[in-house]
Amino acid sequence: MKHLKDLVKDTAIYGLSSILGRLLNWLLVPLYVVYFKPSEYAIVVELFAFLALFNIIYLLGFETTYFKFSSEQTQTTQNYFDLAVTMILLNCLFLGSVLIFFSDDLAILLQYEGKGYIIIWCVLILSLDAMAAIPFARLRILRKGKKFAAFKLLNIGLNIGLNLFFIVYLPITVTQNPHSILVGIYFPELGAEHIFLSNLIANSIYLILFSGTFLNLKFTFSVSMFKPFLAYAVPLVFLQLAGVINEMFSRQSLKYLLPEGFYPDLSNAAALGIFGACFKLSVFMALAVQAYKFAFEPFFFSHANETNSKQLYASAMNGFIIFGGLSWMVISLMLPEIALLVFGADSPYLNGLIIVPVLLGSGFLMGIFYNLSIWYKLTDHTVIGAIISIFGALLTILLNVSLIPILGFMGSAWASLISWLFMSLLSYFIGKYYFPIKYKLSKGGFYSIYAALATAMIVTLELSLLLRYGLGVGLISLYLFLVYLIEIKSIKKNIKSD
For residue 403, the model assigns a pLDDT of: 92
For residue 452, the model assigns a pLDDT of: 95
Cα distances (Å, whole numbers) of residue 232 to 60, 237, 434: 10, 10, 17
Give the pLDDT confidence of 340-380 residue by residue, as tens digits.
887 777 778 787 888 899 999 998 998 898 888 888 877 87
Is the Cβ–Cβ distance between 220 and 229 less than 8 Å?
A: no
Summarize the confidence of residues 71-92 as an average pLDDT: 74
For residue 325, the model assigns a pLDDT of: 92
Give the pLDDT confidence of 119-178 residue by residue, as tens digits.
999 999 999 999 998 888 888 777 777 788 788 888 888 988 999 899 988 888 888 888
% of the chain beyond a pLDDT of 90: 25
Sequence-distant (≥ 6) Cβ neighbours of residue 411 within 8 angstroms: 399, 400, 402, 403, 404, 405
Cα distances (Å, whole numbers) of residue 183 to 107, 127, 169, 191, 198: 28, 30, 12, 15, 18
The three-state DSSP-derived secondary structure of 335-404 is HHHHHHHHHCCCCHHHHHHHHHHHHHHHHHHHHHHHHHCHHHHHCCCHHHHHHHHHHHHHHHHHHHHHHH
Lowest mean pLDDT among 291-305, 390-404, 409-423, 433-447: 291-305
Q: Is the pLDDT of residue 36 over 60?
A: yes
| Helix, strand or coil, per DSSP, at residue 26 | helix
Q: What is the mean pLDDT of the chain?
A: 82
Give the pLDDT confidence of 181-193 residue by residue, as tens digits.
888 888 888 888 8
Q: Is the pLDDT of residue 400 over 80?
A: yes
For residue 18, the model assigns a pLDDT of: 57
Cα distances (Å, whole numbers) of residue 395 to 242, 399, 416, 419, 498: 10, 6, 9, 6, 45
Lowest mean pLDDT among 83-92, 281-290, 370-379, 480-489: 281-290
Q: Which residue has the higher pLDDT, 318 or 37?
A: 318
Cα distances (Å, whole numbers) of residue 466 to 244, 333, 455: 39, 12, 17
Q: What is the pTM of this model?
A: 0.70
Give the pLDDT confidence of 302-336 residue by residue, as tens digits.
666 667 777 878 888 888 899 889 989 999 999 88
Summarize the confidence of residues 44-49 as an average pLDDT: 82
Give the pLDDT confidence of 449-486 residue by residue, as tens digits.
999 999 999 998 888 889 999 999 999 999 999 998 88
Q: How far apart are CA 176 and CA 155, in angstroms?
A: 30
For residue 75, the model assigns a pLDDT of: 45
Lowest mean pLDDT among 11-20, 44-53, 125-134, 178-187: 11-20
For residue 495, the model assigns a pLDDT of: 45
* CA–centroid distance for 37 within its chain: 25
Cα distances (Å, whole numbers) of residue 184 to 178, 180, 188, 195: 10, 9, 11, 19
